[in-house]
Amino acid sequence: MKVAHEITAQAPSAQALDVGKIRADFPILRQKVHGKPLVYLDNGATSQKPQMVIDSLNRYYSEGNSNIHRGVHFLSERATEAYETARQKIRRFINAGSDQELIFVRGTTEAINLVAQSYGRTFLKKGDEIIVSAMEHHSNIVPWQILCEQIGARLRVIPINHDGEIVLEEYRRLLTDKTKFVSVTHVSNALGTIAPVKEVVRFAHERCVPVLLDGAQAIPHLKVDVQELGCDFYAFSGHKLFGPTGVGILYGRAGLLDAMPPYQGGGDMISLVTFEKTHYNVLPYKFEAGTPHIAGGIGLGAAIDYLVGLDWERVAAHEHDLLAYATSALSRIDGLRIIGTAREKVGVISFVFDHIHAHDVGTILDQEGVAVRAGHHCAMPVMQRFGVPATTRASFALYNTRDEIDVLVSGIHRALKVFK
C-alpha cells in the first residue's frame, strides 16, 4: 500500500516534548476501560480536557455563576469580564484584528450555518454558485445545500485525488463569474489532509469571492493566524481544542460582519427595541442572541491559556512523530489500507480491511481499552469517493504516545484473528 511518503519517524530526542508531564494534566487519561488502561485515540471527535479547564468550569459554577452584559452587581460584572477576557485570549490565539471579529457560537456547525443564513441569504441569489470540496464534513455541506434550496443557488464541488488532496487545477476551473462564495475545510476529519488553504483563498480573492475555512480539525494541530491565512471567515469548536463542548468561534472580517444581518433575534443582540423598529447591537453582540454558554467561553479561554503555555515546536514535532510512527506500523499490517495518504497531514489515520467492517474493528479495539471512531465520520461523500462504507479512524493529540500506538496495532492484530 501507499504510505504518506514525506513522513519519516524520528527517534525520540532530548528535545522531545515531555509527554508524561502533559498526560498528568489530563485526569481522564488515568482511568481503565474494560480493565485496560485507556488509550484515547478519538481526538478528532472531541479531545480531553486538562485540569486547568475543568478547574475553571468548577470555579465558575461554584464561585462566579451569573448572567453577563446585564447585571450591575459584582458577580455579573466579574462574569462579564471573565467572558470578555476569554474573547481577547482567543483573538490573540488566532491573531484576529479585533475582538469585534470573534463571535461566540455553539461550535463549528453553528458558525457555518450563521454565515450561510446571514451572509448567504443577503448577498447570494438565484444562479450563483458556492464552492466546497469533496472532503467536507456534513457541517460544511448541508448548510450550503439548505441555502441553495432557499435561494436557487448551486453547489459546486472541488474533486480530491486518490491521496485525498484537493485538485487545485479543478478548483481554478470551477471558479467563474458565477462563484459567489467558497467554503473549504482547513483539515479533513476523515482523511487528515491539510488543504492548501492559502491558495484556496488567493484564487478566490483574485475574483473578489469571500472564503470561509472550517477549522474544526486544524485548530488543535496547526498554528492558525487568520490574517496570514487571509480568509474572510474561520470557524472552530472549543471541544476539539481541549475546551468545553457547546462553545465555538466564528471569526469574520469586521467589514463583512458589519454588513450582515443578525442570524438570530433575542436579548443582548439589540440596542433598542420598539414594536415599530429594532436597532441591533454593535459587533460582535449583534450575532450573540440570548444568554450564551458563559462557563464554556471562560473554559475555552482556560484551554487557550493551557496551550499557549506549551512549546508548540515540540508539540508539532511530537504529533508528526506519532503520525509517522503509526503510519509506518499500520502499513505493515496485512490487508490494511489507509484511506488518506496526502503529503500534508495531521495525526489522523483512517483505515479499512476488505473483509472486516470498520465497526467490528472498533468494537474489538474498545475491548482493549482503545477508543477510536468507526463509521462515515459525518463525511459520507468522502466514503463515496473512496468506495468504502466506513473507516476506522485513529486520531491523535499531543498527549498520545508511541506505546499507545503499539496497543492500537496489537488490538488490530487481535481483530484480525477474531475475524479471520
Residues that bind ligand C6P (CB under 6 A): 44-45, 107-109, 137, 139-140, 185, 189, 214, 216-217, 237, 373, 377-378
Residues 6+ apart with CB under 8 A from 45: 373, 395
| Residue/partner pairs of 375-379 with CB below 8 Å, 24 or more apart | 376/190, 377/44, 377/137, 377/189, 377/190, 377/350, 378/137, 378/138, 378/139, 378/189, 379/135, 379/136, 379/137, 379/138, 379/188, 379/189, 379/190
Q: How far is the CB of 109 from ligand C6P (least distance, A)?
A: 3
Q: Which is nearer to ligand C6P, 107 or 297 (CB)?
A: 107
Q: Which is nearer to ligand C6P, 12 or 375 (CB)?
A: 375
Question: Which position among 148, 208, 231, 378 bears the catalytic label?
Answer: 378
Q: How far is the CB of 247 from ligand C6P (least distance, A)?
A: 10
Nearest Cα neighbor of 166 from 135, 206, 198, 207 is: 135
Residues 6+ apart with CB under 8 A from 385: 134, 135, 160
221, 346 Cβ separation under 8 angstroms: yes
Q: Which is nearer to ligand C6P, 41 or 79 (CB)?
A: 41
Q: Which is nearer to ligand C6P, 220 or 284 (CB)?
A: 220
Q: Which is nearer to ligand C6P, 344 or 406 (CB)?
A: 344
Give yes or no: 148 in active site.
no
Q: Which is nearer to ligand C6P, 100 or 109 (CB)?
A: 109
Nearest Cα neighbor of 217 from 199, 241, 197 is: 241
What Cα–Cα distance (Å) separates residue 272 from each residue in 111, 130, 264, 286, 300?
25, 35, 16, 12, 30
Helix axes 294-308, 51-59, angle to 10 degrees: 150
Q: How far is the CB of 235 from ligand C6P (least distance, A)?
A: 8
Residue type, 284: P
Q: How far is the CB of 115 from ligand C6P (least distance, A)?
A: 13
Q: Is 322 left (phi over 0), alpha (psi -120 to 50) or beta?
A: alpha
Q: Which is nearer to ligand C6P, 120 or 248 (CB)?
A: 248
Phi and psi at 143, nearest 5°, equal: -60, -35
Q: How far is the CB of 191 from ligand C6P (least distance, A)?
A: 10
Q: How far is the CB of 237 from ligand C6P (least distance, A)?
A: 3
Q: How far is the CB of 23 from ligand C6P (least distance, A)?
A: 22
Nearest Cα neighbor of 322 from 220, 374, 398 is: 398
Task: Catalogue the active-site residues.
Answer: 378
